[in-house]
Amino acid sequence: MKRPWIGVFKFTSCDGCQLSVLNMEDELPDFVSLFQVAYFREAGDMPLRGRFDIALVEGSVSTGWQKAQIIEVRERTRHLVTIGACAAAGGLQALRNWADIEDYKRLVYPSPDMIETLPCSTPVSDHVYVDYELWGCPVNCDELSEMLGSFLLDRKPGIPAYSLCMECKRKGVPCLLVAKSEPCLGPVTRAGCGVLCPSMERPCYGCFGPKEGANIGSLLEAFRNAGFSSHECVLLLDKMNTYAFREAGTGEGRF
Amino acid sequence: MKRVFSIGYLSRVEGEAGITAEILDGKAVVRARVFEAPRFFEAFLRGRHFSDVADFTARICGICPVAYQMSSVHAMESIFGVEVEEPIRQLRRLLYCGEWIESHSLHIYMLQGPDFYGCESAWSDRQYLPLARRGLSFKKLGNQIMTILGGRPIHPVSVKAGGFFKIPDKKTLSGLLPDIERAYEQTLEAVSWAASLPFNDNDWDWECLSLRGPNEYPMNYGNVSSNKGAEKPMADFLEDVREYQVAYSTALHAEIKTEGPRPYLVGPVARLNLNHDLLPPEIKAAIRQCGIRLPMTNTHMGIIARSIELAYAFHEAVRIIKTYEMPGRPSACFEPRAGQAVWITEAPRGMLIHHYEIDGEGLVKRCAIIPPTSQNLGHMEKDLNHFMQMHMGEPANVLRKECEKIIRSYDPCISCSVH
């Protein structure tokens, strides 16, 4: 059987999701024997050439040249899969979407005019058709290997779309929202992390982004009843998946 | 005569950068073009609650998130006057050991190692595979340490100002001991492997800086110390440093501004040169046996320094786990108050400087983050210029390859440097 060609691409990101590929330590030998790793700049010198059966794309689109680059990746690829919150939702850097980019540039750079950047950081799906999105900040290695295995077997990945609450209940972790009135985003956040924060008695802060059909307005209402101001409620959503949470709430940028 | 060559997009380094080299009338100028897209962390951190800072800054880097969490929580504790209990300090050191192990083994075996064997990646050549497997087995243990303490190796979730959200008991940690004791022995042996690798001659007069702990190899505490003899408390270090912008890079550079501006080196070579007397006797003996001369005079020998630190991190992890007693509470209680502080910790790649100003509500008023790679960029360029000056006559493809190798020996973290 011909091994499928895989490419790993980086846009605006911390590199943590492509590192997750290398963090599959036990599966890595299988990974490189089952796939032809044809492009993976962080791990090898292979030049960009040819077409890919599958591309893993990390990072958001935040510069003009990246807009052209993501179209090129799409054109070279049969199945485009995004990995992580930056690629699926614009990442933490999408906080600029609700601010003045010129302000941001001036704050960081002595010569802001030399910096070329877009006023918004956007998910890959805003630019090209995406075949599958793997959520998380960072992605979960088990989900990554499930997705890659499913690709080889030509089946749909068995990755849940329900909320973190389901995982939490199954693990028998006491509910921070109900028992302690803590601002836990579990009810509106995708499962996938393995209940990391609630297991540490810490409210979920939304690494895996909004689950499908999340009722964000209702959760914010509960937060407000517990004494959080409207501004504090927005800040709870304004993290790595700010763009997706705001969109899933009452529409882009409005609360 | 003018010769120009460039590398568009460097491979086997973290982040997006290339280089341009120009030789004109016998003089070489090499520039590290960093084109990684900026994310503006210092801008969007303003107005955020101090409790968000450790989680946000971790996202600057997927390879060294713990470093960002450590520099930021220590800065907050310094502002709020929080005293952290000894077992918590030790657990933070253990978490840092996990990150040093993960980052160093990734770089030694997956990123830089292939350079010495002429491979394009760690898995492209069957001959290299045993080394890649060895590296992955070390890396996995570093990740396991971080997972036990922080829930996951990338962007751990347990760290906060005052301590941790939750801490493990002794039994859970002790479960790691057999594996990390074995890995310690293996990494100690691997120091002689690193020492046997071939290096170009590259002795010149350079300045290096690292924290220097009063009685332990530096991670979270110490004064900033230089091989030129200067020593300063970390709180005052920013008086000596200037960040500046160059047109070809989205990463700011940093230099020492006092007594004539000059670049400096941070990272494993700097740390080792300034702190090798603090290593345990067994590791000192291994260094002697391999014929490694300290202080190192060749900046390209980072892989040796990294291999020594990898063994040390395992040694230190064993020590911490063996002496650990679980404290009564995972974090100290405190009230936020207005103030400002600078804190520096030793990220795998060197000093990571954080500076915060917090208002009376506990919100960030201003912040500045200077990652190790921003500090190293100027020095790296100087090093490349020096190399080119010595080897000007070589063909472009040889020079290009050698420049790539030199850059990799610095283990640059480009995403960090831009942030």
In tens, the pLDDT along B96-124 reads 999 999 999 999 999 999 999 999 999 99
Q: Domain range holding A139?
A: 5-153
Nearest to A145 by CA among A137, A128, A156, A157: A157
Identify the band that residue B258 occupies on the pLDDT scale cut at 50, 70 and 90.
confident
Task: Give the bridge partners for B209, in sequence order.
Answer: B226
Mutation test of the interface with chain A: which of B154, B169, B243, choosing the one with the most A Cβ atoms within 10 A?
Answer: B154
Q: Which run of H or E residues covers position B2?
A: strand B2-7
User: Cβ contact (<8 Å) for B154 and A40?
Assistant: no
Domain identity same for A149 and A170: no
Tell me the C-alpha distance between B188 and B287, whole Å.
9
Between B9, B44, B151, which is nearest A95 by CB? B44
CA angle A121, A124, A130 (to 5 degrees): 165
Chain mean pLDDT for chain B: 96
Domain identity same for A140 and A187: no
Q: Which amino acid is at B372?
A: P
**Do B196 and B323 touch, CB atoms closer than 8 A?**
no
Domain identity same for A148 and A29: yes
Domain range list for chain B = 41-417
Query: Is residue A53 included in any domain, yes or no?
Result: yes
For A77, the 3-state DSSP assignment is strand
Residue A27 to chain B, least CA–CA distance (Å): 11
Tell me the C-alpha distance between B88 and B167, whole Å.
9
Tokens encoding A56:
């893993």
Nearest to B265 by CA among B227, B232, B315, B292: B227
Residue A253: predicted pLDDT: 44
Interface contact B136, partner A, CB < 8 A: yes
Query: Is residue A255 included in any domain, yes or no?
Result: no
Domain identity same for A29 and A103: yes
Task: Give the bridge partners for B242, in sequence order.
Answer: B255
Domain identity same for A148 and A182: no
Domain identity same for A197 and A77: no
* Domain stops at, among A133, A153, A173: A153
Q: Which amino acid is at A52?
A: F
Residue B214 has pLDDT above 90, yes or no: no
User: Cβ contact (<8 Å) for B15 and A196?
Assistant: no
Domain identity same for A75 and A39: yes
Domain identity same for A132 and A66: yes
Of the two residues B230 and B191, the one the predictor is more confident about is B191
Could you give the number of structural domains in chain A? 2
Residue B58: predicted pLDDT: 98
Residue A2: predicted pLDDT: 87
* Domain stops at, among A153, A186, A205: A153
Domain identity same for A143 and A241: no
Give me the torsion for CA of B179, B304, B221, B344, rounded to 10°: -120
* CATH number (domain holding residue A117): 3.40.50.700
Residues of A in contact with B43 (CB under 8 A): 96, 99, 103-104, 107-108
**Do B28 and B22 touch, CB atoms closer than 8 A?**
yes
Tell me the C-alpha distance between A248 and A255, whole Å.
11
* Domain stops at, among A153, A187, A202: A153
Identify the band that residue B259 occupies on the pLDDT scale cut at 50, 70 and 90.
confident
Domain identity same for A146 and A177: no
Query: Is residue A245 included in any domain, yes or no?
Result: yes
User: Cβ contact (<8 Å) for A105 and B139?
Assistant: no
Mutation test of the interface with chain A: which of B39, B112, B355, choosing the one with the most A Cβ atoms within 10 A?
Answer: B39
Domain identity same for A139 and A23: yes
Residue B3: predicted pLDDT: 86
Q: Calculate mean pLDDT across residues B121-134.
A: 95
CATH 1.10.645.10 fits domain B41-417? yes
User: Cβ contact (<8 Å) for B154 and A45?
Assistant: no
Low-confidence residues in chain A, pLDDT < 50: 252-255
Cis peptide before B295 (omega within 30 of 0): yes
Query: What pTM was computed for the model?
Result: 0.97
Residues of A in contact with B136 (CB under 8 A): 25, 28
Q: Calculate mean pLDDT across residues B63-77.
A: 98
Domain identity same for A40 and A11: yes
Asked if the interface predicted TM-score (ipTM) of this complex is over 0.85, the answer is yes
Nearest to B132 by CA among B106, B154, B152: B106
Read off the pLDDT of residues B346-367 as tens digits, 9 standing for 90 and up.
Answer: 999 999 999 999 999 999 999 9
